[in-house]
Structure 1
Amino acid sequence: MTEIAHRHIDVNGLSMHVAEAGSGPLVLLLHGFPECWYSWRRQLVALAEAGFHAVAPDQRGYARTGGPGRVEDYTILHLTGDVVALIAALGEEQAVVVGHDWGAPVAWHTAQFRPDLVRGVVGLSVHPRPRSSRPPVAQMREQFGDGFYMVAFQQPEVPEAVFERDLPDTFRRVLYAASGDAADLVPVVPDGGGLLDVYPAPGRLPGWLTEGDIATFAAEYASSGFTGPVNWYRNLDRNWELTAAWHRAPITPPALYIAGERDMVLAAPGVKERLPRLHDFVTDLRDIVLLPGCGHWTQQERPEEVNEALIGFLRTL
């Protein structure tokens, strides 16, 4: 069995924790919220055995990496800057950048900002989207109300206090509720409820998720907590301001998009209808892979299918 190794690397003033396996062309695996390197555990091994150097960092603010305390130190320019610096720190000139959930926008933006560094880009769950015509938080508030989770995350201190109260309970709820094994998730806080009320507790865990997995995520978050991860959301409007120079700029590296058909991202109004038009913005989009019955946690719920699609794409580059 291929071993996963761990180390810390100096990246933009961070002591960035990475999990890695294998040797060969570099593939960076960028996790989402609320995850860490562990969400790529099955891809690290599969990619290594397929002849690639797979590296999954704990990104800025997360888990063993941790991060600065200021909200404004978590913009998309910081996040993509970390990817650029990590490629260099690993001694490489280019990488394939793969991202899931929040990691997907980081991957898409890295490919957009620095196509010279990106051999290929893969997004899981979150599709690439052009910069909107106005700041996003107000749009989400108008469309979904103040209870929409991304709007609720703008509150100072409240979200992290809720999520940190009982870490195993938080991960049990969040990982189950957004999966393809649960009822359709409506990520809006009910009237009079709290943030965790968005995520119903499971009667039993789905087959892809174990109590050991939950305990691992809880342990990874025990020291760093949720402030850094939530700060990513608190920069949504700031990111919109900072990316004005790339308004409607295309994404040009070879690309792949993978999502579960039961993912809440695809359930948002108009998303499925927009997928055929992604080629207009992502000029070398090689394929769109939709996984029946799969929810939001794409690579954890369907590791074999994700590995097959990912390795197949990598071998075309």
Structure 2
Amino acid sequence: MLHHHRISVNGITMHVAEQGEGPLIVLLHGFPESWYSWRHQFQPLADAGYRVVAPDMRGYGETDRPAEVDQYTILHLVGDVVGLIHALGENHAVVVGHDWGAMVAWNTALLRPDVVRGVVGVSVPPLPRGPVPPLVDTRERFGADFYQNYFQLPGVADAELSKDVASTFRKTFARVPASQPPTGDGEPGFLDRSAEPDTLPGWLTESDLATFVDQFTASGFTGGLNWYRNLDRNWELTAAWQDAPIAPPALYISGELDIVRSFYALDDHAKMIVPNLRAVVDVPGCGHWTQQERPAEVNNALLDFVRTL
């Protein structure tokens, strides 16, 4: 049975959902998500003999949301994961992340390989530190209106996403392209490129949608957006790990239709920094919300991987 509790970690209080007993697996969500994004993983992993823990990450859900933007650097996020593992009474864990959570998982394995038995990135591959700050790179490659650059303006995306939280999630999860370009004054927002879907995707129920809406109505979006507002700061903070290998055993899972593949590719450079990449799993016909869209395939891949550790 799923158990919810709170743990003091790294100067904040984290809300976690937990099920099962055995070797620890920590599941890290992305943006805009929560522990609930892993709802399909708890039972199968627990039934297989694992202790499964999914936190609301810093800035999300029922976990603390520090006000200062600089409290959301990659060092804080990795520190939260390491602190959580130790607060749970464990010395190490398999760390699994989706979307932004994958970036945290890869960096946890990079910075603290001693506490990571294995690392799994879902959607976002390992990203070598580039020659220029990330937001400079995205501006040059995709333009100043690329969503990561748009998210930098304090209060702007926060207000847009919070205006109608249910519509935000319907558009974000369904990703139906708008038939007409945005019109009106000012620059287009994050949601302007998506149309309101007629129906929810088959993998998302009205109850699922209501859960996310309730969570983000209570928490707002600023905490999650602050992760993006530290992208260039993270680049500065991780200079000492330029080209350093991610040593623990690794798995990468990606949806064949995931839009992330258009700007973050698992190329030869990325593979070089993960010398123990044991498998790459492409999920046919799957979009970005991998573990929610195709839980059976993701669960099978996770179990195949963790059983080898």
Q: What is the root-mean-square deviation of aligned Cα atoms in Å?
A: 1.6
1:105 corresponds to 2:96: no
In structure 1, the gaps of 5 or more residues are none
* TM-score of the pair, normalised by structure 2: 0.95
1:297 corresponds to 2:289: yes
Query: Separation in 1 of the partners of 2:287 and 2:216?
Result: 23
Preserved contact between residue 128 and residue 269 of structure 2 (Cα < 8 Å): no
Q: Deviations over 1:93-145 (max 9, x none)?
A: 00000000000010000000010100000000000011011111111111111
Preserved contact between residue 61 and residue 227 of structure 1 (Cα < 8 Å): yes
What's the counterpart of residue 284 of structure 1?
A: 276
Q: How many residues align?
A: 305
Preserved contact between residue 123 and residue 253 of structure 2 (Cα < 8 Å): yes
What is the one-letter code of the residue matched to 2:228? Answer: Y
Out of 127, 150, 153, the residue aligned to residue 152 of structure 1 is 150
What is the one-letter code of the residue matched to 1:122? Answer: V
Query: Separation in 2 of the partners of 1:192 and 1:90?
Result: 46
1:259 corresponds to 2:254: yes
Preserved contact between residue 66 and residue 228 of structure 1 (Cα < 8 Å): no
Q: In the TM superposition, what is the alpha-carbon distance from 1:198 to its structure 2 partner?
A: 2.7
What's the counterpart of residue 117 of structure 2?
A: 119
1:309 corresponds to 2:283: no
What's the counterpart of residue 92 of structure 2?
A: 94
What is the one-letter code of the residue matched to 1:164? Answer: S
What is the one-letter code of the residue matched to 1:118? Answer: V
Query: Separation in 2 of the partners of 1:77 and 1:25?
Result: 25
Q: In the TM superposition, what is the alpha-carbon distance from 1:268 to its structure 2 partner?
A: 2.6
Query: Separation in 1 of the partners of 2:193 and 2:101?
Result: 22
Query: Separation in 1 of the partners of 2:123 and 2:305?
Result: 17
Identity %: 58
What's the counterpart of residue 198 of structure 1?
A: 193
What's the counterpart of residue 136 of structure 1?
A: 134
Preserved contact between residue 15 and residue 55 of structure 2 (Cα < 8 Å): yes
Out of 210, 213, 222, the residue aligned to residue 215 of structure 1 is 210
Q: In the TM superposition, what is the alpha-carbon distance from 1:49 to its structure 2 partner?
A: 0.8
Q: In the TM superposition, what is the alpha-carbon distance from 1:294 to its structure 2 partner?
A: 0.3
Q: In the TM superposition, what is the alpha-carbon distance from 1:277 to its structure 2 partner?
A: 5.2
The 5 A counterparts of 1:237-256 are 237-256=232-251
* TM-score of the pair, normalised by structure 1: 0.93
In structure 2, the gaps of 5 or more residues are none
Preserved contact between residue 128 and residue 270 of structure 2 (Cα < 8 Å): no
Query: Separation in 1 of the partners of 2:212 and 2:223?
Result: 15
Q: Deviations over 1:182-241 (max 9, x none)?
A: 56x9xx988842221133221211210111111100111122211110000000000000
Query: Separation in 2 of the partners of 1:135 and 1:65?
Result: 29
Query: Separation in 1 of the partners of 2:263 and 2:239?
Result: 25
